[in-house]
């Protein structure tokens, strides 16, 4: 067993046994015993692309047609998305006979020649695929011939047996919930295998305890992971209700905690803030997830364990990452964005982070994770956390937060020590939002024995038009609504530079305000964002 822990060896042995024919396997059912429904909306535009032989997933494009399964390449996220079949809902949204036949052809081709890519057989990908096949059975399989349906049901039983043997999944992040969801879906549809449900319910409580923090924030500290995990848990609850199985109490409790935390992570346009691998996502999907969760009301102003703070006054919302990065094993998508912030005014986003492109090429993924892609300060072009392919190396350990509110105004004083080992430096950020929400002031300073070269960046949403004023001491910002804001700075040189926005469905060009510290000047920048009545 060299190079392998006993636990891993036992898991691998179980999976090998699960692949062997079993005398106890019993008859393959002709159809699912109970209907499993996929509750989430698809995108008919993406469905139309699938008809043309293109899969769009997470902003990346991959050729996908019968006969191409062995050639699927690209990032691990893109490959997992392809083999997970969640895109079946996009064909369902299209709703045509051509969409039904394309879905059936792609599933049949996958079953006939299962891909050799290990990602296709990872527990979370198997779980997603089982759930997708069962959730869209009525769409693509119910009207098919007996041979197709028998092969589909046989593969579902085989995959569920392998998935059951693979638990607990080695992945300890949100992917483990997707694996469990798949096994529970199989248990609901394949009543001849009651052991699937027993095994899934054995591991579900411990995964919830490991992944969902007391304040309802997901342990990955990612709005995207928050949404995905809440989707999985609400689906699991619905599946258990379908099978008339009493859910464990921790499931409902976790959903009740997570829904307000997700609300806290939304801007007024209804979409998500962009931290740690997140895109905006569609407001209608987020609304539906919250409806399924069944928890109304406003989100909190702070997540104590998750480390996010929300300052809201008037029409302005300021969301700040005030927490240490997720721990090892949960930091797969973690960004070096500690103390970064996003500002929106009404439905207009003003200051943003660049977002994420996890399904894209490695160079895009790395660039979007760097501190320079966030609206915060960076020292010497060195990110506040060391970026590694599967997580973070060096990172902030101590993140201190002090928040006060009075008469509708907000003060936030935060610091982190991410550059302590590299520069013996601490970054401190002080923020103030007036009661009106139209006067926001900040200070960014470096506490270090030696002066450090630093840059402070405010990335702007693509819909914001920016112009450097003649004296070079301010930038005039025009929002999509036509409102004007002005950014002034003291202690740094103001310039405008190109940026890119990855928060939407596709990359968009944008701009950033860059504040560069003077070589011999103070390690201290004061800045102010305020609404102005006109452009004069």
Alpha helices (H) in 329-377, listed in sequence order: 362-369
Q: Measure CA 433 to chain center.
A: 28
pLDDT, tens digit only, all 536 positions of the chain: 333 455 554 455 455 445 544 434 457 888 888 889 999 999 999 999 999 999 999 888 999 999 999 999 899 999 999 999 999 999 999 999 999 999 999 999 999 999 999 999 999 999 999 999 999 999 999 999 999 999 999 999 999 999 999 998 777 788 999 999 999 999 999 988 889 999 999 999 999 999 999 999 999 999 999 999 999 999 999 999 999 999 999 999 999 999 999 999 999 999 999 999 999 999 999 999 999 999 777 889 999 999 999 999 999 999 999 999 999 999 999 999 999 999 999 999 999 999 999 888 888 999 999 999 999 999 999 999 999 998 999 999 999 999 999 999 999 999 999 999 999 999 999 999 999 999 999 999 999 998 899 999 999 999 999 999 978 889 999 999 999 999 999 999 999 999 999 999 889 999 999 999 887 778 899 999 999 986 55
Q: CA 511, CA 496: separation in Å to the nearest integer?
A: 7
Which pLDDT does position 8 carry in this prediction? 57
Domain range 304-532, CATH class: mainly beta
The confidence score (pLDDT) of residue 170 equals 75
Beta bridge partners of 405: 410
Distances (CA, A) of 288 to 135, 155, 240, 283, 451: 17, 31, 19, 9, 50
Name the residue among 57, 200, 74 with its Cα closest to residue 127: 200
pTM of full prediction above 0.95? no
Token duo for residue 215: 């304040």
Continuous segment of H or E residues that includes residue 489: strand 484-490
pLDDT of residue 5: 55
DSSP 371: G
Q: Answer yes or no: are the C-beta atoms of 179 and 124 closer than 8 Å.
A: yes
Residue of 504, 490, 494 lying closest to 357 (CA atoms): 504
DSSP string covering 278-295:
-----HHHHHHHHHHHT-
Q: What CA–CA distance (Å, rounded) separates 317 from 311?
A: 6
Task: Please count the other Cβ atoms lying within 10 Å of the Cβ belonging to residue 20.
Answer: 8
Q: How do the domains of the chain map onto residue ranges?
A: 304-532
Comparing CA positions, the residue from 387, 386, 401, 392 lying closest to residue 308 is 401
The 3-state DSSP class for residue 206 equals: helix
Which residues does 485 contact at the CB level (< 8 Å), separation at least 6? 345, 350, 476, 477, 479, 529, 530, 531, 532
CB 30 within 8 Å of CB 153: yes
* Cβ(428)–Cβ(421) below 8 Å: no
Q: What is 240-276 written as a DSSP string? A: HHHTT-PPPHHHHHHHHHHHHHHHHTB-TTSSB---S
Q: What are phi and psi of 224, to 5 degrees?
A: -65, -45
**Residue 12: per-residue pLDDT:** 57
Residue 3 has what DSSP assignment? T
Least Cα distance to 508 among 461, 458, 457 occurs for 461
Distance between CA 153 and CA 159 in Å, rounded? 10
What per-residue confidence (pLDDT) applies to 34? 86
Structure tokens of 369?
């994770």
SS3 per residue for 174-201: CHHHHHHHHHHHHHHHCCCCCHHHHHHH
- At 23 the pLDDT is 38
Tell the residue number behind the tokens 């982190």, with chain if given: 416
Helix (H, G, I), strand (E, B) or coil at 113: coil
Question: What is the β-pairing status of strands 302-303 and 60-63?
Answer: unpaired
Distance CA 492, CA 359 (A): 36
Q: What is the pLDDT of residue 461?
A: 98
The predicted structure's pLDDT at residue 24:
46
């Amino acid at each position: 067993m060299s190079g392998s822990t006993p636990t891993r060896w036992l898991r691998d042995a179980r999976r090998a046994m699960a692949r062997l024919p079993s005398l106890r396997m019993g008859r393959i059912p002709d159809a699912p015993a109970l209907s499993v429904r996929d509750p989430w909306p698809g995108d008919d535009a993406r469905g139309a692309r699938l008809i043309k032989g293109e899969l769009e997933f997470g902003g990346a494009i991959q050729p996908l047609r019968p006969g191409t399964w062995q050639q699927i390449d690209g990032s691990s996220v893109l490959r997992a998305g392809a083999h997970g079949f969640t895109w079946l809902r996009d064909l369902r949204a299209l709703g045509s006979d051509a969409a039904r036949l394309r879905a059936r052809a792609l599933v049949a081709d996958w079953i006939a020649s299962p891909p050799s890519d290990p990602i296709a057989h990872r527990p979370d990908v198997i779980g997603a695929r089982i759930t997708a096949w069962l959730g869209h059975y009525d769409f693509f399989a119910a009207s098919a011939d007996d041979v197709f349906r028998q092969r589909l049901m046989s593969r579902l039983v085989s995959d569920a047996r392998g998935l059951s043997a693979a638990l607990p999944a080695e992945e300890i992040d949100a992917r483990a919930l997707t694996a469990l969801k798949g096994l529970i879906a199989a248990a609901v549809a394949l009543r001849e295998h009651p052991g699937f449900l027993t095994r899934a319910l054995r591991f579900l409580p411990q995964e919830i305890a490991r992944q969902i923090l007391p304040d309802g924030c997901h342990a990955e500290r990612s709005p995207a992971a928050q949404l995905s995990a809440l989707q999985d848990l609400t689906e699991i609850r619905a599946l258990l209700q379908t099978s008339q199985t009493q859910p464990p109490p921790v499931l409902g409790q976790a959903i009740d905690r997570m829904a307000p935390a997700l609300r806290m992570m939304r801007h007024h346009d209804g979409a998500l803030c962009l931290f740690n691998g997140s895109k905006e996502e569609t407001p209608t999907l987020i609304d539906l997830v919250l409806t399924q969760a069944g928890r109304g009301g406003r989100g909190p102003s702070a997540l104590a364990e998750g480390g996010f703070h929300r300052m809201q006054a008037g029409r302005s919302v300021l969301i700040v990452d005030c927490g240490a990065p997720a721990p090892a094993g949960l930091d797969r998508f973690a960004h070096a964005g500690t103390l970064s912030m996003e500002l929106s005014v009404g439905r207009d986003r003003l200051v943003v982070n660049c977002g994420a492109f996890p399904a894209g090429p490695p160079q895009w993924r790395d660039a979007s994770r760097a501190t320079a892609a966030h609206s915060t300060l960076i020292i010497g072009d060195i990110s506040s956390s060391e970026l590694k392919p599967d997580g973070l190396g060096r990172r902030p350990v101590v993140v201190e937060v002090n928040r006060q509110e009075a008469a509708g105004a907000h003060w936030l004083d935060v610091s982190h020590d991410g550059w302590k080992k590299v520069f013996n430096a601490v970054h401190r950020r002080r923020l103030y939002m007036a009661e009106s929400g139209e006067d926001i002031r900040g200070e960014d300073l470096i506490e270090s024995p030696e002066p450090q070269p630093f840059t402070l960046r405010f990335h702007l949403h693509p819909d914001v038009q920016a112009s450097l004023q003649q004296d070079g001491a301010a930038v005039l910002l025009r929002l999509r609504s036509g409102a004007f804001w002005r950014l002034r700075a003291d202690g740094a040189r103001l310039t405008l530079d190109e940026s890119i926005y990855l928060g939407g469905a596709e990359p968009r060009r944008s701009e950033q305000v860059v504040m560069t510290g003077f070589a011999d000047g103070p390690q201290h920048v004061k800045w102010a964002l305020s609404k102005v009545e006109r452009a004069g």
